[in-house]
Structure 1
Amino acid sequence: MRKLPAVTKSVTEKRRRRGFERTSSLLTARIRKAGEARGFSVTRILTHWAEIVGQEVSAIARPVDVSYGRGGMGATLTVLTTGAQAPMLEMQKEQLRTRVNSCYGYNAISRIRITQTAATGFAEGQAQFTPAPPAKKTLDPDVKNQIRNSTADIGDEGLRAALETLGQNIHRKQKPKG
C-alpha cells in the first residue's frame, strides 16, 4: 500500500474529524469553473435559477449563456425556452433582467436574448426530484371479503367496482384502534 504525502494525509485527517461535508462545498469550485467558461461570473444564476426568476419562469426557461460585447456596456443573457413559451417570456424580459441584475448586485445584464428549441428533449438536462408516491397499505383478506360481500347485490359492474375501491380506501385511511 502506498503512503500518502504528509500534506494530503493531514487534509484527509482534518476532513475526517469534521464529519460529513455538504456536497455544495465540494462542488462549488467545479461549478464556478464550468460557469465562468460559459460566461457566468456568478454561479448563483445557474444554481438558484428558480429562486431568482420565480417558479413559473424557471419551469419554462433556463439560462444558457452570458456573452459580453466588445464595448463592455453590459452583457447579454441567453435564455432557452420552447417555441410556445417564447412570447410569454418575451413580455417578461424587463422583469427578468431586473431580477437577474439584483443577483449580480449591479446592472451587469443589459440585454436578454431568447432562443427557442423543440418541445421534445428540452427537459433532458433537468433532474426531477419528486418523491415517490407512498405505497398503498395492504388490506387484510377478511376485510376485502367483507367489502366484496357488502357490494355483491349491486347489479351495475362499474358501480360495484367503484364502491369496492371506496371501501378499501376508507379502510386503508382508518387509524388502528388501540
Structure 2
Amino acid sequence: MRVKAQSERPPRRMRGFERTSSLLGERIRNVGEKRGFAVTRLLTHWAEIVGEDTARAARPVKVHYGRQGFGATLTILTTGANAPMLEMQKEQIRQKVNACYGYSAISRIRLTQTAPIGFAEGQAQFAPAPAQPRAIDPETRARAAQFSGDVADDGLRSALEALARNVLSRQKR
C-alpha cells in the first residue's frame, strides 16, 4: 500500500464554521474566468466601482479579449431607457473599471440592451424593488395610541406611537 505524498493530498478543510467566501471562492473564480473576468472584484463590487446610480442601471456581462491583445471589450447589460445615458458615460465607466484592474485592461465598452424585466424569465433585474410597508390594522393603531396618550408634546407622542405600532405589529408574526 502506497502512502500519498503531501502534495497529492486534498487541502484539509477547517473545522467548525467556515466563511462562505472560502467555500465558494474557487467556483466563483472559475465561472468568472469563463466569461472573461480574470478579476472577480469587478463582478462582486460593481456598485462600488462605478457608483450606485450606474450600478442600478447596468450590470457587467462579459469581458472579451481581442485577437491582437491590445485591451479587452467589456459588455454591459442595461435597459433600453438607460442606454443613452450610459452611452454618454462610457469613458468614465471605462476609467473606473481600469482603476479597479490597476492598468488599462479595458479598451472598449459595449452596451447590450434588454427589456426592463430582463430576459424571458425576468432574471436580469437592475434595481431592487422598493419595500412595501405593511398595513397596520385599526386595533394595533388604537393600542399604540393608548400607550402614548398621556404625553403632552406632539412630536414625542407621535414618535412613541410609531414605536408602539412597530413593537405591537412584530408580536403578531
TM-score normalized with structure 2 length: 0.68
The one-letter code matched in structure 2 to 1:116 is: Q
RMSD: 3.8
Q: CA deviation at 1:137?
A: 9.7
Cα gap change, 1:24 to 1:171, in 2 (>3 Å): same
Could you say what secondary structure the match of 1:62 adopts?
Answer: strand
Could you say what secondary structure the match of 1:11 adopts?
Answer: coil
Aligned match of 2:36 in 23, 36, 39? 39
The one-letter code matched in structure 1 to 2:12 is: V
Matching residue of 1:68: 65
Query: Conserved in 2, the CA contact under 8 Å of 1:144 and 1:168?
Result: no
Q: CA deviation at 1:25?
A: 1.5
Query: Conserved in 1, the CA contact under 8 Å of 2:117 and 2:125?
Result: no
Query: Conserved in 1, the CA contact under 8 Å of 2:60 and 2:75?
Result: yes
Using the alignment, how far apart are the partners of 1:112 and 1:120 within structure 2?
A: 23
Query: Conserved in 1, the CA contact under 8 Å of 2:144 and 2:162?
Result: no
Matching residue of 1:24: 21
Query: Conserved in 1, the CA contact under 8 Å of 2:116 and 2:125?
Result: no
Q: How many equivalent pairs are there?
A: 145
Where do 5+ consecutive residues of structure 1 fail to align? Answer: 147-166
Matching residue of 1:87: 84
Cα gap change, 1:113 to 1:145, in 2 (>3 Å): closer
Residue 11 (str. 1) matches residue 12 (str. 2): yes
Q: CA deviation at 1:139?
A: 5.6
Residue 103 (str. 1) matches residue 108 (str. 2): no
Deviations 1:129-157 (A, max 9, x none): 988968969967984897xxxxxxxxxxx
User: % of aligned pairs identical?
Assistant: 57
Q: CA deviation at 1:172?
A: 4.5
- Give the alignment of 1:127-166 within 5 angstroms: 143=143
Query: Conserved in 2, the CA contact under 8 Å of 1:66 and 1:76?
Result: yes
The one-letter code matched in structure 1 to 2:55 is: S
